Structure 1
Amino acid sequence: MSNSQRFNSVWDALEDSPEQAENMKLRAELMTQIRQYVESLNMTQQAAAKSLGLTQPRLNELLHGRLDRFSLDKLVNVLARAGKHVTVTVSDEEVA
């Protein structure tokens, strides 16, 4: 019999608290949306970065998933510059 613990997401397993895990889940989702948007532009990282109000190295960090480098506020602002609207839905805690 295994004593392995089950988690709802990888973030629940990696982060120290449910609050940190939730924050990382949200940042990962926003970064995914930004990555998809940038890929759809079919332009250089330099041009895409400029259109989003970022430097090319900063966009590169974002595209490579450096979650620790971006706050939720920053990611929402980048999406707004891309013409995207972020909607928040709050629900009861998921049951494992």
Structure 2
Amino acid sequence: MRKTQPANIDTEIRHVTGAATNIFSELGFSPEDARRFECESRERIDHALALKEQLMSELTNWIALRKLKQSEAALILHVTRPRISDVVNKKTSKFTIDALVDMLARAGKPVKIVVG
């Protein structure tokens, strides 16, 4: 059965921001602020990706050292086999840092955070 939108909800797309466009400029910030916000945003995103990659590398090494099949690792880590494949293939967009930390804890590799 197909769900329909109520007649009074406007779903028309009026503007699409391009991938290379500074979203902060689009939101009306001054050019200087927009550049600064974009730079800060990129740094935070890059830092989060680096953390995810590091956590994924730890999990991948743990799997390799124990010579586990992906299905065996999945059982130990309480996730599905495709999730293990995503870890091994470094598909960072599919995981939160919390999920990776939980998986490492289940592997007996608790994560310690050091603030520098």
TM over 0.5: yes
CA displacement 1:59-88 (0-9 Å, x = unmatched): 001111101101000000000000111111
Mapped partners of 1:43, 1:37: distance in 2:
9
Counterpart for residue 78 of structure 2: 53
Mapped partners of 1:42, 1:59: distance in 2:
14
Amino acid at match of 1:56: R
TM-fit CA distance, 1:21: 0.9
**Between Structure 1 and Structure 2, how many residues are aligned?**
77
Mapped partners of 1:44, 1:28: distance in 2:
21
TM-fit CA distance, 1:34: 0.4
Q: Structure 2 regions of 5+ residues with no counterpart? A: 1-40
* Match runs of 1:8-47 below 5 Å: 17-47=42-72
- Name the structure, 1 or 2, with higher relative contact order (CA <8 Å, separation 6+): 1
Q: Structure 1 regions of 5+ residues with no counterpart? A: 1-15, 92-96
Q: TM-score, normalised by structure 1?
A: 0.75
Displacement over 6 Å in runs of 4+? none
Q: TM-score, normalised by structure 2?
A: 0.63
Amino acid at match of 1:55: T
Q: Percent identity over the alignment?
A: 29
